[in-house]
Amino acid sequence: MNNDASKLSPSRRDFLRQGSLLAGGLIAAPLLSKANYFSGADDVIKIALVGCGGRGTGAAIQALLSKQNVKLVAMAEAFRDNLDNCYKEITSDETAESMGGQDKLKAKVDVPEERKFVGFDGYLKAIALADVVILATPPGFRPIHFEEAVKQGKHIFMEKPVATDPAGIQRVLAAAKIAKQKKLNVVVGLQRHYQNSYRELFKRKDMIGDITSAQAWWNNDGVWVRPRKQGQTEMEYQMRNWYYFNWLCGDHITEQHIHNIDVINWFKGGYPVKAQGMGGRQVRKGKDHGEIFDHHFVEFTYADGSMLNSQCRHIPGTMSKVDELMIGTKGRIAAGDGTITNSNGKVLYQFDKKGENNPYQTEHDELFGAIAKGEYKFADAENGASSTMSSILGRMATYSGQVVEWDKAINSGLDLHPKVYDWNALPPLLPNAEGYYAVAVPGVTKYV
């Protein structure tokens, strides 16, 4: 590539330089400096990956598969083995084949040992080296990582959910305001917003009139369990088995069912004002299942009085369904089928599934395409935070058995996180003498 910074597109160069300023400073005016935003003085968009688990690995590969001139230059991860496995997969022959060969892959991956950061604070160094940051750690860390990326003026892709408690939501919302001021593109991995079928249904949602009720499901067998190993500190064990601890995961209503709740929020154009529901543990009751429930049923109420009946379940052998249904004054939208019908069941619109895309890829294609053109197009953080808060509202309702109001919940100050992030520090929830963790009891547990 041409190393003469002066030959870069002025709009692109100024846009990306503008995004590099730290929080608290003024946004740079065009031609403030002749220095190129990129440390390499060329038009490569440098990427840092923070969180090298399965989702981080996938997101990094999708970023590299975008059509833009991108390069992965830094990686950060709490565990060295996760980082090594991620790097191995990113540089594998299979990945190279998808990119057109090892030579093309090598041109997009430049992460020497000195740019592989391990530990709780590695994200600080990785973010500093990049133009775009991929945040894919367990969601409990998302608020502090997002804050730092915004502070350092980086464009951001961050996975959902964006927090696990109301205190984290407040931090994300505050940082989102600064990201907007700096014109930092932020995409959140609520990928249905980038899926062709959902986009086409959304364009036509007025065909069913006002949405008066909705249903959403995330019912399946569940996910992995990582048993405790000898010699692990409590912090390491919970970090390894993160799905089962609320400070890290937020329960599966937040970690996964957020997708379905977010779809209803999107089509409704708002967020619930209160929630009540029920839930518990029927089959997922072992020591390695931490504190989370295996089923939730929540009745969300919106400001106009309409309701969403939401259910998520992780119980093997039961009905499996992940979908959304919206019922309006004139008809209904069945999202999974891509169908809009009138009140009599007549099909008004049917999405042609031949036109479906891979939304996980599209969200990266569109993000990096905007950055390459010097465009400010994406500000997903506020919706990501509000849909995450919707799921947290549901969890607070099922755990307590009470009607929980949005305003009280989001302003409750509930903070599930440890005071110190260190391998020898104690997480907020500890096992009893038999190795079991306290579990919420509806009617007893209180949050607000």
Per the domain annotation, does 124 fall within a domain?
yes
Per the domain annotation, does 99 fall within a domain?
yes
Per the domain annotation, does 447 fall within a domain?
no
In this prediction, residue 26 carries a pLDDT of 29
Specify whether the CB–CB gap between 369 and 66 falls below 8 A: yes
Q: Is 204 found in the same domain as 286?
A: yes
How is residue 36 written in tokens? 């190129």
Per the domain annotation, does 425 fall within a domain?
no
Instruction: Give SS3 for 64.
Output: helix
pLDDT at 42 over 90: no
Q: Is 117 found in the same domain as 207?
A: no
Q: Is 321 found in the same domain as 370?
A: no
Q: Is 153 found in the same domain as 47?
A: yes
Q: Is 221 found in the same domain as 167?
A: no
* Residue 380 dihedral angles phi and psi, to the nearest 5°: -80, -10
Q: Is 210 found in the same domain as 109?
A: no
CATH of the domain at 244: 3.30.360.10
Q: Tell how far CA 114 is from the center of its chain.
A: 28
Q: Is 212 found in the same domain as 156?
A: no
The closest alpha carbon to 139, from 284, 297, 253, 46, belongs to 253
pLDDT at 207 over 60: yes
Per the domain annotation, does 405 fall within a domain?
yes
Q: Is 248 found in the same domain as 139?
A: no
- The domain in which residue 169 lies consists of 5-192+363-379
In this prediction, residue 17 carries a pLDDT of 41
In this prediction, residue 121 carries a pLDDT of 97
Which residue has 């009139």 as its token pair? 209
Q: Is 262 found in the same domain as 169?
A: no
The closest alpha carbon to 368, from 234, 241, 187, 165, belongs to 187
- pLDDT of 345-399, one tens digit each? 999 999 999 999 999 999 999 999 999 999 999 999 999 999 999 999 999 999 9
Per the domain annotation, does 113 fall within a domain?
yes
Q: Is 90 found in the same domain as 39?
A: yes
Specify whether the CB–CB gap between 49 and 126 falls below 8 A: yes
Q: Is 237 found in the same domain as 110?
A: no
| Number of structural domains in the chain | 2
In this prediction, residue 178 carries a pLDDT of 98
Per the domain annotation, does 27 fall within a domain?
yes
Label residue 447 by pLDDT band (50, 70, 90): confident
Distance CA 439, CA 160 (A): 24
The closest alpha carbon to 265, from 389, 387, 382, 405, belongs to 387
Q: Is 201 found in the same domain as 185?
A: no
pTM (2 decimals)?
Answer: 0.91
